A and B are shown apart, each in its own frame.
Chain A
Amino acid sequence: MELTKGLIALFLTMILTQNFILAKFLGICPFLGVSKKLDTALGMSLAVIFVMALSTAVTYPINKYILVANNLEYLQTIVFILVIAALVQMVEIVLKKYIPALYNSLGIYLPLITTNCAVLGVVTLNVDNGYDFIHSLICSLGGGVGFLVAMVMFAGVRSRLESCDVPKFLKGLPITLIAASLVSVSFLGFAGLVEGIFG
């Protein structure tokens, strides 16, 4: 019971107060790049959730039983990025061959995700925080869902922005960033919420 409570609290924290995009600035490139349309935002986020959970599940045993067991912690960065890159490549090949429909909707985002800081970020954060397997997995799932929430919300904001009369020098990227700042302010309102419920 205590464990379940802790896991739910961690999951909510990752979505609301420690949101990957809006509080930790991980994965800003796709946030600004593919959030123009709702369907691309959704596809990208679902692919991110999948890759984040999968790479956490794969890197955790590698880290624990190969790197830490042999005092090779200093190789973490290299090993993690290579494992993620290889994993993404393999998932892409498998999807293309066996589930072409899924490949067409999600698979096309996979190569972009290799160099997405959110994925390497969550794996590194799990190690830094010393989470066990189940906490790591929940942390990455929560991070992924938080990514989805921020992307989908922001896609809505951006579609409104299209029809606004913006001062000339703010057009394009600057106003997008300022809009992101306001979305981020709204997420500040969640501070203390999780502690309030579960504390």
Chain B
Amino acid sequence: MAEKKSLGKEFSKGIIIENPVLRLVLGTCPTLATTTSVTSAIGMGISASIVLICSNIAISALRKVIPAKVRIPAYIVVIASFVTIVQMLVKAFVPVLNEQLGVYLPLIVVNCIILGRAEAFASKNGVLASAVDGLGMGIGFTAALFVMGTIREILGAGTFLAGFGGLIGNNFDGFSIPFLNSNPILIFILAPGGFFVFGLVMALANKLAESKGKPKAELKGCENCPMAKICNVRDKVEGCDKKEVEA
């Protein structure tokens, strides 16, 4: 019974309390780059989630075999293998998505969320718990991308879910928003709009967290970073407590 309860907790923490994008501030590059449309945001979210779940399972299963000293390269190999598999599947079955994500699809390898969960969770917990953790974190990541993508696509292109049919194999082409459709605020789908919307969504998340009495999201520099234990920059960055990281 206790087991069941804690699994539920592992699952739900990734979605809200420890949302990887809005609370832990990980995986910012794909969050900004692939949210120009809801379709590519969902595609990115699902691809990254699949890699996350699979690599969490594999790393957790191998956690007693991998020597501690070479664990980071070992994790990178495991993650890169799954990314390659996902890349091949996407190229074969959803070529539209491959075009939309472009270089960001292979870049899932260096997505800090995946390496971060491998280091912080999968290397210490059982297979089932790691799979559930990966699922929760993956849904949290996808949800954050979905919110960002929705705001940016509606304001910046005047459409919602445009081209979504390409993802699921029919010709559904989303909805068009009256007025905004003919007068889109183009800057929202350009680079500056990405930073701007991310900043506002983050502010909103902080506000909500505050009203619930939780601390606000802060780029703690190192605490959440998967490379924390082997990196020396933390001595130079403010708010980066060496002891805290090692504890």
Contacts and interface: CB of A to CB of B under 8 A. Distances in A.
A169 B206 CA distance: 7
A181 B195 CA distance: 5
Contacts of A121: 103, 107
A120 B107 contact: yes
Contacts of B194: 25, 181
Interface in A63-105: 74-78, 81-82, 85
Nearest to A109: B233
B195 A180 contact: yes
Contacts of A28: 28-29, 32
Contacts of A37: 236, 238
A57 interface: no
A114 B227 contact: yes
A188 interface: yes
B216 A26 contact: no
Q: Is the interface of B mostly helix, strand, loop or mixed?
A: helix
A161 interface: no
A29 B199 contact: no
Say which size band chain A's interface belongs to. 35 or more
Interface string B52-83: 00000000000000000000010011001101
Say which size band chain B's interface belongs to. 35 or more
A175 B94 CA distance: 37
Contacts of A74: 84, 87-88
Which of B103, B193, B237 neighbours the largest number of chain A CB atoms within 10 Å of its CB? Answer: B103
Interface in A163-187: 169-170, 172-178, 180-182, 184-185, 187
Contact of B202 (A44, A115, A177): A177
A129 B3 CA distance: 50
A180 to B, nearest CB: 4
Nearest to B116: A115
Contacts of A24: 33, 191
Interface string B218-237: 11010001110011110111
B144 interface: no
A22 B193 CA distance: 11
A139 B71 CA distance: 32
Contacts of A184: 191-192, 195
Given A174-B203, A177-B199, A178-B199, A33 B106 contact: no
B25 interface: yes
Interface string A136-151: 0000000000000000
A10 interface: no
A23 interface: yes
Nearest to A22: B191
A29 B111 CA distance: 10
Contacts of A181: 192-196, 199
Contacts of A117: 29, 107, 110-111
A125 B81 CA distance: 19
A29 B217 CA distance: 15
A72 to B, nearest CB: 11
A82 B226 CA distance: 17
6 contacts: A24-B33, A78-B77, A108-B235, A169-B207, A173-B218, A181-B196
In the complex, the 10 A-B pairs of residues with the closest C-beta atoms, listed nearest first: A177-B199, A181-B195, A174-B203, A181-B196, A25-B33, A108-B232, A184-B192, A178-B199, A78-B80, A25-B32
Interface of B: 25, 28-29, 32-33, 73, 76-77, 80-81, 83-84, 87-88, 102-103, 106-107, 109-112, 115, 187, 190-196, 198-200, 202-203, 206-207, 210, 216-219, 221, 225-227, 230-233, 235-238
Given A25-B28, A25-B33, A75-B84, 10 more contacts: A25-B29, A34-B236, A77-B109, A78-B77, A109-B233, A120-B106, A172-B206, A177-B196, A184-B192, A184-B195
